[in-house]
Structure 1
Amino acid sequence: MKENKWPVRDQARFLKRTGELLAQGYSLAEAIESMTFHLEWKRKADIKRSLDQLREGFPFYLILAELHFNKELISYVYFAEQHGGLVHAVTEGADMVLKREADYQRLKKLAAYPLFLGTLTFLLFFFINKVLLPKFTSLFSDMNMAPNIFMAIIRAAGDIIPFLLYFLLSIAVLSALYYNLIFRKLPVMQQKMKLVKLPVAGRWIKLLSSHSFAVQLSYLFSGGLPVHDALKVFEQNRHEPFLSEIGKDIISKLAAGEDFDKAVDDYPFFEAELPKIIRHGQKNGKLDQELYFYSRYCLKELEDKLETSMKTIQPILYSFIGLLVISLYLAILLPMFDMMKGI
């Protein structure tokens, strides 16, 4: 099928509406067919092909994969088809992706104004540093007047900023080379192990990995699957290489006699609480519920960290830009006042 990727928001809305129709008693084919009346014409052709494939017996998750849907949404549908809870899993997966997309759009909007302000400030800074400041410096030298502190700040910033930009550009180029030549060729579990070592992003990646693993396991356990069979479902999920490798690796550890919670505890890309949750759930016989509630906790932690990061970064950015703007204005105004006094 020719690639015609839907926007993530449209994908999530489509699945959410499909889940709502399933909850009202529609069959999967009927729900998808009903959705065609609410879609743009360019999407209707995709849906008609999907209906034909569905009636021929294709799994729904494979159809979504051919439509180039988001990997997380495909994964939710894949696991839902294994444990039979398609309605709940699809609706929750769509809600999660919609919430994440809304957070991403909000983050873009919050970053747009500081980015515009920073660009404008940089252009103003460049003009003053390269055009006006040398003229004032020359004039001050002719009049035997000492430059003020704000002129010194601008001059120092003018020396530092180019080196900082070159440094950041070098880091970006080296990172891109490392990713393309080395990182992307590593096994997916080694990639995760390296990513969780990053100073700030590592904590986020741990929460995401723990959430994904816990929520999918909870669905499989709630469907009545034992641990080994649930992990076998993970292993067979070829559309999510990380979860597939995790399932395969844990199965080998269980075969060697290791306990399930101990096997999970060996991975640095999971939160330290996850093995404890598994151990507690196995003791009280409510492992599916324990994992589900823990997955909700991970999601809440991610949302809180996003909110905290935005509240921290914005004031720092605005303070820096504000200080630079004030220095620019005072570097121009103060020399003018000094010259007026000398007249």
Structure 2
Amino acid sequence: MLAQLNKWTYTDIRFRRQIQVRQLPDFFLRMSTLLEEGYTFADCIAMLLPYHVKNYTYWEELIYNAFRDGAGPTKIFQLFGVDRQFLVAIQLAETTGLLASTLRVVAHQMEFQENMKTRLIKLLMYPILLFIFLGGLFIAFRLYFLPNIEQMVYSRTPTEKASSIQWTKFFLHVPDYFVVIFVCAVAMIVGGFLYIQRKRVDIQLHLLFRLPLIGYCWRLVLTRQFARSLGNLLVTGMSLQQSLEQLKEQMIQSQLAYVASVIERRIIFGDSLANSVKALSFFFPHFEQFIDHGEKSGLLGRELLIYAELLDEKLETILKSATLFVQPILFLVIAICVIAAYLSILLPMYQLLDIV
């Protein structure tokens, strides 16, 4: 059934819209409230899902088959199309019994993510439409304006002296240069991530951390996920080794599992968690200080959760700052294109005026 769902997801857009689970943050928030009031997970699905899907008959059959096969919340939410970064927290919550609180945290993270996407789309919509309009003007100039002005200049000026035509051709292709640069940049980024993805996990982390800006953000995200996952396990009463074992055995996030396995080996040989984190280069700066304070106070799990919340705020600030830079950069590109359009028209005109 899952294979059939994946096939339809990519081949039939209309059917995809019918089976799509809408407003996932609200769904998770309502489910969290119902779970806290004592409803079972199956009851929550039966009560809430009809209000978040169009084709409920399809979902009812799919979820019934999944429950019959012994699927838990993680598998069910995987069918919903939930991102892997959230599935890790949900899978660990199944172990700790903190599913309700975890769903609430995931709902807030999803809501922030959707708000950032909506904000980014609004910021990009006007500049992109303007750039498309300018691109159409440049194409029209190349097809109609350039041949006429070229004929006028060459009829009154020797070919070797008509340098303005060459500059006009250059300026009329300025949008093409930006498009080529953008396509090449995207191709390099996608190709780079595909290349890194095929490497071993330790090599993946080594390569990602060496990238400027991306390495900084990746270290922050990995530290945040590790702190929240380990903290949630510790506050339920699990020992540190048991918690690390749970993180190591989860198969959704391979990098998190690798980091947990490396730290577990150091702790087995008698090292503290703070010293293990400090000796490794996987984490955000000063993370070991929070761990050291938590180990001394005996509230390590709680302090890890506090640190994860601090990193949430830091990540949100970084994303908001990044979106503020996108629109000015696009407007700068548009301004360059407008100047190029003026120059492409004025240069041959000035040359014709000099001739007259």
Alpha-carbon separation, structure 2, partners of 1:129 and 1:310: 34
Q: What is the rounded CA distance, in whole Å, between the counterparts of 1:246 and 1:173 in structure 2? A: 29
| Equivalent in the alignment of 1:232 | 245
Q: Which runs of 5+ in 1 are unaligned?
A: none
Which of 89, 96, 100 in structure 2 is aligned with 1:83?
Answer: 96
Q: Is the 8 A contact 1:215 1:292 kept in 2?
A: yes
> Under a length normalisation based on structure 2, what TM-score does the superposition of the two structures give?
0.80
Q: Secondary structure at the match of 2:210?
A: coil
- Matched residues, number: 341
Q: Which runs of 5+ in 2 are unaligned?
A: 10-18
294-303 vs 325-334, which deviates more? 325-334
* Within-5 A mapping of 1:157-236: 157-158=171-172, 166=180, 169=183, 172-173=186-187, 179-180=193-194, 182-236=195-249
The separation in 1 between residues aligned to 2:57 and 2:242, in whole angstroms, is: 37
Alignment of 1:13-92 (within 5 A): 13-47=26-60, 49-50=62-63, 53-54=66-67, 58-92=71-105
Change (3 A) 1:238 1:117: same
Matched, 1:282 2:291: no
What is the CA RMSD across the aligned residues, in angstroms?
A: 3.5
Percent identical among aligned pairs is 23
CA distance in structure 2 between the partners assigned to 1:123 and 1:266 by the alignment:
56
Q: 1:102-149: per-residue Cα shift (whole Å, max 9, x none)?
A: 212321232232222222223323433564245435535655699999
* CA contact 1:46–1:67 (8 Å) conserved in 2: no
Shift in CA distance, 44/224, structure 1 to aligned 2, threshold 3 Å: farther
> Would the alpha carbon gap of residues 269 and 172 (structure 1) be closer, same or farther in structure 2, given more than 3 Å must change?
same
Q: Does residue 314 of the first structure (1) align with residue 327 of the second (2)?
A: yes
Any conservation in 1 of the 2:131–2:334 contact (CA below 8 Å)?
yes
Question: How far does residue 229 in structure 1 lie from its aligned partner after superposition?
Answer: 1.0
Task: Decide whether aligned partners of structure 1 residues 129 and 190 sit closer, same or farther in structure 2, where only a CA change above 3 A counts.
Answer: same
Aligned amino acid, residue 309 of structure 1: A
Aligned match of 2:136: 123
Range that drifts further, 52-61 or 229-238: 52-61
Deviation of the 1:159 alpha carbon? 6.4
